[in-house]
Amino acid sequence: MSASVLLVTGGAGFIGTNFVRAAVARGERVVVVDRLNYAAQEGNLAGLGAQVRLVARDLAAPGDDLVRLLVETRPRTIVHTAAETHVDRSIHDPEAFVASNLLGTFRLLEAARAYLAGLGEEERRRFRFLHVSTDEVYGARAPEDPPNREGDPYEPTSPYAATKAGSDHLARAWHKTYGLPVLVTNCTNNYGPYQHPEKFLPLMIYQALRGRPLPVYGDGRQVRDWLYVDDHVRALFRVLEGGTPGGTYHVSAGLGPTNLEVLELLCAILDRLRPRPEGSYRALVRHVADRPAHDRRYALESTRLQHELGWRPEESLAGGLEKTVRWYLSHEEWWCRATGEDFHRWLAAHYDAELVR
Ligand code: DAU
């Protein structure tokens, strides 16, 4: 493989898969490093042929093989999407998040540093390390607060958010201390194809199609800024092409619906595409105990990305949700693989029995 390769960590997970598929469509060759845990599927990369090479590896594990892989494949870019990402799981098992998000990022940064040291001047000048992160690092915004801007202080709440915040700090420190050409993006809630059904929207689709209750935490008035995953992927390419090393770029749609409003839209789409003999899916909504320390609202301003790099979100919430529902309805085999033993164990441990009977 030549120096035009992209190396994508977590490339068999949700955002990673969507990024790799878009990269292949652009003619790129991609090396995916993924530990293939419960949220990733090798099959997500099926059909991409010789343009993609998958290496099954846990980034948190020690070993020189990571540097050797970089030297052998000579990526011009590393896109780091690999992370443990489910807030609820981070409350049950925070150690897995420390290992993956902190130690895994640390080892990858160190491997990138060693690789960069051996590159010629031109390759070193072109090299980029894109660290893909989240709005959750800022913690909750009050209803009257303006959206977070790049450079605002971090106030993470959950173990997930705290480990992502730590990984952002590591990435920036490797830029400042060692000159690694790091770019950081923080994005709002994504949705779309290939998202694991533990997350809000695919979980609601999964439950709805089985006629089971739709578990809404607390009063359901929490606010998220939902972005269709393709818009996020386009933003990542923009940042790679034009972002300034050391820079941080927010990615957001600028929306603020409550969870109940999003669920209402989702039910209306399901009612249209897969009507239920018993009546609307809305009747399945159940308010359940709230998530501990549940952040009430996230909001990011993405004007830097819009003004400096010309990115705009293209998908509306209604349009993106419809695409998402259609994808899930037509990918039954994907569901079957994603909802195996581990998923049922998770549901049983986390939700009341009558919700997941
Ligand atoms: O904001 C970006 C973040 O969005 C990402 O960094 C995280 O990886 C991703 O998991 C997501 O975090 P959230 O906690 O916002 O996503 P989740 O899909 O778990 O929940 C979305 C909202 O829906 C949140 O307010 C909690 C609520 N919810 C979630 C589940 C799973 C429910 O009401 N019921 C549920 O069963």
Domain count, the chain: 1
Residue 321: inside a domain, yes or no?
no
Distance from residue 172's CA to the centre of ligand 1 (Å) = 26
Percent of the chain topping pLDDT 90: 96
Q: Is 335 in the pocket of ligand 1 (CB under 6 A)?
A: no
The closest-lying atom of ligand 1 relative to the alpha carbon of residue 198 is 31
Residue 301 inside a domain? The answer is: yes
Residue 101 DSSP code: I
Q: Which of 81, 87, 231 to mutate to test the pocket of ligand 1 (most atoms within 8 A of CB)?
A: 87
| pLDDT computed for residue 2 by the predictor | 43
pLDDT, position 1: 41
pLDDT in tens, 304-345: 999 999 999 999 999 999 999 999 999 989 988 999 999 999
Residue 9, in any domain of the structure? yes
Confidence of residue 3 (pLDDT cuts 50, 70, 90): very low
Q: How far is 210 from 332, CA to CA, in rounded Å?
A: 13
Kindly state if the Cβ of 101 falls inside 6 Å of ligand 1: no
- Asked if residue 266 is part of any domain, the answer here is no
Mean pLDDT of 272-300: 97
Tokens of 186: 């923080």
Query: Rounded to the nearest whole angstrom, what is the distance from the C-alpha of residue 119 to the centroid of ligand 1?
Result: 41
Predicted local distance difference test score (pLDDT) of residue 117: 97
Structure tokens given for 103:
């130690």
| Cβ contacts of 270-276, under 8 Å, gap ≥ 24 | 270/205, 270/208, 270/209, 270/325, 273/322, 273/325, 273/326, 273/329, 274/209, 274/329, 276/211
Residue 37 lies in a domain: yes
Q: In terms of residue numbers, what domain contains 48?
A: 5-195+225-255+295-307
Question: Mean pLDDT score of the chain, rounded to an integer?
Answer: 97
Residue 17, domain CATH: 3.40.50.720
Residue 356: predicted pLDDT: 87
Average pLDDT over residues 55-74: 97
At position 77, the amino acid (one-letter code) is T
The answer for 33, left when phi > 0, alpha when psi is -120 to 50, beta otherwise, is beta
pTM: predicted TM-score of the whole model, two decimal places: 0.98
Instruction: Compute the distance between CA of residue 287 and CA of residue 216 in angstroms, rounded to an integer.
Output: 5
Sign of the Cα pseudo-torsion (126, 163, 191, 188, in order): negative
Question: Over the stretch 126-179, which tens digit does the pLDDT of each residue have?
Answer: 999 999 999 999 999 999 999 999 999 999 999 999 999 999 999 999 999 999
Is 87 near ligand 1, meaning CB less than 6 Å away?
yes
On whether residue 178 sits in a domain, the answer given is yes
Angle between helical axes of 200-209 and 259-273 (0-180°, round to 10) = 40
Has residue 213 been placed in a domain? no
Question: 29 lies in a domain?
Answer: yes
Among 199, 252, 263, which is best to mutate for testing ligand 1, by the most ligand atoms less than 8 A from CB? 199
* Residues in the chain, total: 357
* Cβ of 222 below 6 Å from ligand 1: yes
- What distance in Å separates the CA atoms of residue 232 and residue 237, rounded to the nearest whole number? 9
